[in-house]
Amino acid sequence: MDTAIRSFRRKRFILMLTAIFVILFFAIRIGRNRTADTAGENSAPVLLPVHNNFYAADDRLSFRGKVNKGENLYVILSKEKIDNSLVKKILSKAGELYNTGKIRAGNSYLINYDVNGFHSFRYDIDKNRYLYIFRTGNRMISGKIVVIPYKIRIGIISGCINGSLYETLASAEEGGGVLSERLALLYEYDIDFNRDIRKGDSFRILIEKKYLKGKFSGFGRILASEFINRGKKTNVVRFASEPGKSSYFHPDGRAVKKMFLRCPLPFMRITSRFGFRRHPVLGFSAAHKGVDLGAPRGTIVRVTADGRVFGTGYDRVRGRYIIVSHGNRYRTHYYHLSGIKKGIRRGKLVSQGNIIGYVGTTGRSTGPHLHYGLQRNGRFINPLLLNSPSRNPVKKMDKKRFNRSSGAIFALMNIGEDSILNDLLKQIIFKVVLYLVGDNI
């Protein structure tokens, strides 16, 4: 009997404790909700800027824009309804992390707002990094430079020319058309892609492909490439002679870059060759001390080698002209320009590939073109026949390291086209080899 009474009292005590716990739990929940509601009613509404480009993201509003010409970070933030004291904190934190004077027109930015106003600011520095400034509570501001976590896969892009290089690359790989300019620049010392390539020419490119959240996001470094033009194979491989300083070389160690570019224009269309010709204006035969390259008015003209501007001017024969001295017995001449780039004047140092002027038809000329002349030891020679030496070949002390690295990279290219191996196994092999190659690329 006593046992039954004790058992009943124990059960009643447990039930009472459970009931008290349930009542307290719901009382606290109700109290919290009322407090939150009251706070919401009593707090002043946050005024958010109004933009057509606003879109909702979770519990925030976001505005995406592009930096306009002449804008800096202060101007961008001042256009928004952000408290001036907060703007100063954002500018201070951003300045600690990044030189905000380098913010460039055309780059994207993103501003997020929540119920408390400013939440975060993102500026895309480049394709791989962005500046991120954010509120941490109590109007404190923090920030960081975020490296976009791309996953890198190694791929092979190959094809046969059937039309233009752009069209062939675009059909060989989604988004591959953007590589046409990079490949043309890589081979511009060896192949003229406007005159030399033929239907049936082929190429292979060993390249990094970047993925973000499983989606293809763009191309990375070209590790190696092969181009077969009219039966002649030209191979190029990436190699770092010093950590962080990579260049492209041929397998024998010659640098891809040469002392002179093949052509001062982005493309080559010869309208008159070097040597004796019937003059198109004067009507009699005379020596033509250069080559005429046809191009639309305003086409950029690049200096073909490092040097110093020897002179600029205008006369009735050459029209507007530039002469550049290269300090190694060579001078180059650029005639009939429509204009000279601002800052190009006598004594100015210029680097290979710099824009120095624009195609025109000034002086004794029958239409828009560039007359390009090349002197060696004071004597004009045919610039198309110049056997230009390579610049900065692989040093002797680096030759063994270069041979090991380039051999491994070209082996990867062959493995990548092996149809027997599946893609997973190829990627494993790629990662192992690239790990062994290390800083050499």
Give residue 5's pLDDT: 56
Q: Kindly report the backbone phi and psi dihedral angles of residue 14, in degrees, each rounded to the nearest multiple of 5, phi listed first.
A: -65, -40
Give residue 372's pLDDT: 95
How far apart (Å, rounded) are the C-alpha atoms in residues 322 and 324?
A: 7
Give residue 338's pLDDT: 96
Query: What count of other Cβ atoms lies within 10 Å of the Cβ of residue 55?
Result: 10
Give the SS3 label for residue 382: coil
Give residue 181's pLDDT: 82
**379, containing H or E segment:** strand 379-381
Q: What is the CA radius of gyration of the chain?
A: 33
Which structural domains are found in the chain, ordered by start? 54-147 (3.10.450.350), 150-258+390-441 (3.10.450.350), 270-385 (2.70.70.10)
How far apart (Å, rounded) are the C-alpha atoms in residues 333 and 323?
A: 5
Is residue 71 within 8 A of residue 106, CB to CB? The reply is: no
What sections of 43-163 are H helices per DSSP?
73-78, 84-97
Report DSSP letters for 272-307, one per residue. E-SEEEE-TTT-SEEEE-SEEEE--TT-EEE-SSSE
Q: Kindly report the backbone phi and psi dihedral angles of residue 182, in degrees, each rounded to the nearest multiple of 5, phi listed first.
A: -65, -40
How far apart (Å, rounded) are the C-alpha atoms in residues 142 and 132?
A: 9
What are the pLDDT digits (tens) for 14-43?
555 555 555 555 554 444 444 333 333 333
Residues near 438 by beta carbon (within 8 Å), at least 6 away in sequence: none
Structure tokens at 321: 């002209």
Give residue 3's pLDDT: 57
Give residue 74's pLDDT: 87
Which regions of the chain are under pLDDT 50?
A: 1, 28-57, 277, 282-285
pTM: 0.66
How far apart (Å, rounded) are the C-alpha atoms in residues 122 and 146?
A: 10
What are the pLDDT digits (tens) for 291-348?
999 889 999 999 999 999 999 999 999 999 999 999 878 999 999 999 999 999 999 9
